[in-house]
Amino acid sequence: MMNVWMCRECGFIYDPAVGDLDSNIKAGTAFEQVSAEWSCPVCYAEKTTFAVLLS
């Protein structure tokens, strides 16, 4: 099972089982594989703002 991550700014959850289809990130993509340029789709915080929620 892959880690689920949460944006510490707005609470958005990045679930690798779902991905981020609006950003062309397919389901099954681990957070670590997401580009460093990606940002939160809700508040646009940088990827470094995310913390592991569930592992």
Return the CATH number of 4-54, one of 2.20.28.10, 3.40.309.10, 3.30.160.250, 3.30.70.100.
2.20.28.10
> How many whole angstroms separate alpha carbon 2 and alpha carbon 51?
13
**Residue 15 token pair:** 């679930």
Q: Is the dihedral of CA 30, 6, 49, 37 positive or negative?
A: positive
Where exactly are the structural domains of the chain? 4-54
* DSSP code of residue 34: S
Q: Is the pLDDT of residue 54 over 90?
A: no
Per-residue pLDDT at 52? 97
Residues linked to residue 13 through DSSP beta bridges, in sequence order? 6
Prediction pTM value: 0.91
- How far is the C-alpha of 37 from the C-alpha of 17, rounded, in Å? 20
pLDDT at 55: 66
- Tell me the C-alpha distance between 26 and 9, whole Å: 23
pLDDT computed for residue 1 by the predictor: 76
Confidence (pLDDT) at 43: 98
* Residues 34-46 pLDDT 10s: 999 999 999 999 9
Q: How high does pLDDT run on average in the chain?
A: 95
